Amino acid sequence: MTSVGEVFRIFVEAAAETQIRYAVVGGIAVGVWGRPRTTRDVDCWCAVERGALDRLFDSLESRGFVIDREAAQAEIRERGYCRLPYRETYLDIFDALGPFGESVLARRCKEEVEGRESWFASPEDLVLLKALSDRAKDHEDLPGIYAVQGEALERDYIWSWARRLAVEADTPEILDRIREAERRGSTIT
């Protein structure tokens, strides 16, 4: 099993054990909803209330993670996520804070990957998360999601949140990224 696959398995087991609400996002989710690509980490949006985060860290540590809890909790408070190393890969835990985070968790979908059922962000929420990112790699994932999902994507939901996030997160470029992804996705066969 690859290191990414091992971290994915460990996280899913720990999340199930601690009953933390989560949604896998990032490259692994792109493989579920769009055109698969390689990834070097596991990205998850989680409901990280203090007690839940401590339980998750306990479970991860029992499976081989070494976590500087003070630093990880400070990262979540200051940046909204923490990056936990495991061998040569990482587990990134994002705080699903606020109305959009709650929407991501409410709309998550159960899918099977690597032989285990796991919760994934919906394809619509993955589009929004990728469009919000400031990384070109994330923007390149967007047309593939549109191409694979086609008419199944709930475009009204995407555009409603995109307009809201453009203002709330001061990211008006999200609108152009989604427009471009729709255009490019429709040309991929």
Confidence of residue 80 (pLDDT cuts 50, 70, 90): very high
- For residues 171 and 97, state if they share a domain: no
- For residues 99 and 49, state if they share a domain: yes
Mean pLDDT of the chain: 94
β-strand 41-46 against 89-95: which pairing, if any? parallel
Number of independent structural domains in the chain: 2
pLDDT score of 160 more than 70: yes
pLDDT at 2: 55
Over residues 82-108, the mean pLDDT reads: 95
Over residues 74-101, the mean pLDDT reads: 94
- For residues 61 and 1, state if they share a domain: yes
- For residues 89 and 128, state if they share a domain: no
- For residues 4 and 97, state if they share a domain: yes
Tokens, residue 109: 């979908």
- For residues 95 and 176, state if they share a domain: no
Give how far the C-alpha of residue 170 lies from the chain's centroid of Cα atoms, to the nearest Å. 20
- For residues 108 and 147, state if they share a domain: no
Residues 6+ apart with CB under 8 A from 6: 86, 87
The identity of residue 24, as a single letter, is: V
The residue range of the domain holding 171 is 123-189
Which of these three, 99, 121, 143, is where a domain ends?
A: 121
Helices (H), the chain: 3-18, 26-33, 50-62, 69-79, 98-106, 123-132, 136-149, 155-168, 173-185
Please state, for a pLDDT cut of 90, what percent of the chain lies above it. 88
- For residues 60 and 143, state if they share a domain: no
pLDDT score of 92 more than 80: yes
Burial of 92 (0-12, 13-18, 19+ CB in 10 A): middle
- For residues 111 and 83, state if they share a domain: yes
The identity of residue 37, as a single letter, is: R
Contact present, 4 and 89 (Cβ < 8 Å): yes
pLDDT at 34: 97
- For residues 78 and 67, state if they share a domain: yes
Phi and psi (nearest 5°) for 164? -65, -45
Length of the chain: 189
pLDDT at 20: 95
pLDDT score of 186 more than 70: yes
Over residues 104-133, the mean pLDDT reads: 96
pLDDT at 188: 82
* Per-residue model confidence as pLDDT tens digits over 140-149: 999 999 999 9
- For residues 27 and 66, state if they share a domain: yes
pLDDT score of 35 more than 80: yes
pLDDT at 76: 94
Q: Report the CATH number at residue 36.
A: 3.30.460.40
Which of these three, 73, 103, 121, is where a domain ends?
A: 121
Contact present, 94 and 148 (Cβ < 8 Å): no
* Per-residue model confidence as pLDDT tens digits over 162-173: 999 999 989 999
- For residues 153 and 188, state if they share a domain: yes
Which of these three, 72, 102, 121, is where a domain ends?
A: 121
